[in-house]
Structure 1
Amino acid sequence: MKALLLRDLRLAIRAGGGLGLGLAFFLIVIVLVPFGVGPERELLSAIAPGVLWVAALLASLLSLDRIFALDFEDGALALLATSPLPLEGAALIKAAAHWITTGLPLTIVAPLLGFLLNLETTAYSFLWISLLIGTPALSVIGTFGAALTVGLKRGGLLLSLLVLPLYVPTLIFGAEVVRRGADGLNATTPMLLLAGITAVAFALLPFASAAVLRVNLR
């Protein structure tokens, strides 16, 4: 499992769709928003929680189609299906590699870019915690979507259409945690709901991803 994780990390970085691309996209979105909505500090502060979460969500989409595509093309996915490692474990490792190369860097950088949107200082810790809890769910859900579209030509657009509706609950509760933190309110309820979504995704979706992969490999 460790060898597969290290291999996926190397492939994600070499393929150009991992760390650099996600961070660049995230930075561009955050920089462009003030130009689009205007420089009013109150307006930027009000929309900052939602914008930061939407930008992180979209950045995580960029490399989803690469999760299984490279392994499918070179035949490694078929070998994984016959290896002693269950496909459920392989899917979970794929999701972990995606989060390490995409979700974790976004989680680290997001609070540093909050000042561009005049994010309230009280919300920085809530932003960091919400992304730390919620971005793993994005990777696991995205892995399921990648398993559904593996082997399809031009499956990237279809993958986005399939995954985005599943991302909505994570987006809603993640942004709500930051919003309540900015307003000085209790954010325990949305944070627990966000953690619940992540827990359910980890408990169920690796099995769903493995089942879909077995169908696609027949």
Structure 2
Amino acid sequence: MSALKSLFYRELTLAVRLGGGALMAVIFFLIVVTVIPFAVGPDLNLLARIGPAILWIGALLANLLALDRLFQADQEDGSLDLMVMAPVPLELTVAVKAAAYWVTTGLPLAVAAPLFGMMLNMPAESLGAVCLTLLAGTPGLTFIGIIGAALTVALRRGGLLMAILVIPLMIPILIFGILATSAAVVVTTPFLNPFLLLLALSLGASVLGPIAAAAALRFGLE
């Protein structure tokens, strides 16, 4: 446990020192939320209706921003070989790295989402649900994304290939995240059903993602 805790703090420290993580993800998220209204026009009612989709698409893209470097940096300095040979199961190591990535990227996105929702004219009473759905769904996006990061660990500039591989797998989380958030905006539709499905998908990804990513890393290093 001490080794995993040290790894978690190491990942947090590296994310802060490298200047990426929370700040870059939130800035990218803000850019997406700011640019799309210019394309759809000044209709505030329309923005309120499509606001959940804008927020979720922005969060998905921002979550992918630095994910391709999650294992590449370790592979370049030799740390990845040590992680594979360590007595700690590689699946747990991958899960800890993914959790640290979510804390420095996904969590700030969920916290910033209500503020950006106000920019899209979303009702004030729905902003809490926006944060809640992103808190439930962004871990699933991260744990799915680590599979693509592991598959492209040996490729330079593999970010585009990683996105092509993992975005189709993220579509179910995106769909139920938008449905749950839209249900909070349009109160005539149920919120709990899509939210519970979103939670189930996120929990499933948190279990299967590290297993698949660890297998991809072992295969890539053979």
Short-chain TM bin: over 0.9
Work out the CA distance in 2 between the residues paired with 1:130 and 1:152.
Answer: 33
Cα distance between partner residues in 2 of 1:173 and 1:14: 35
- Post-superposition Cα deviations, 1:72-122, rounded to whole Å, max 9, x if no partner, equal 000000001111211001110111011001000001010011111001223
Give the gaps of 5 or more residues in structure 2. Answer: none
1:32 equivalent among 21, 30, 35: 35
User: 2:155 is paired with a residue of what secondary structure?
Assistant: coil
Alignment partner, residue 195 of structure 1: 199
Aligned counterparts of 2:63 and 2:144: Cα–Cα separation in 1: 11
* Deviation sequence 1:40-83 (CA, Å, 0-9, x none): 11111111010001000000010111110110000000001111
Output the TM-score relative to the length of structure 1: 0.97
Structure 2 length-normalised TM: 0.95
CA–CA separation in structure 1 for the residues paired with 2:185 and 2:125: 5
Letter in 1 for 2:135: L
In structure 2, the partner of 1:83 is 86
Indicate the percent of aligned positions where both proteins have the same amino acid. Answer: 48
- Counterpart CA distance in 1 for 2:166 and 2:12 is 22
What is the match of residue 141 of structure 1?
144
Bigger mean CA offset, 115-124 vs 86-95: 115-124
In the alignment, what sits opposite 1:173?
176
What one-letter code is carried by the residue in structure 2 that aligns with 1:136? P
Q: 1:1-218 alignment to 2 at 5 Å?
A: 1-184=4-187, 185-218=189-222
Contact 1:94 1:143 in 2 (8 A): no
> 1:187: how far off?
0.8
**Separation in structure 1 between the aligned mates of residue 85 and residue 24 of structure 2, nearest angstrom:** 33
Cα deviation for residue 37 of structure 1 reads 1.3
- Cα-Cα RMSD: 1.0
Q: Which runs of 5+ in 1 are unaligned?
A: none
Q: What is the total number of aligned residue pairs between the two structures? A: 218
C-alpha displacement of 1:17? 3.0
Deviation at 1:154, TM superposition (A): 2.0
Task: Give the superposition deviation at 1:15.
Answer: 2.7
* Farther off after superposition, 128-137 or 180-189: 180-189
Q: Distance in 2 between matches of 1:22 and 1:40?
A: 27
The one-letter code of the counterpart of 2:32 is: V
Conserved 8 A contact 1:17-1:62:
no
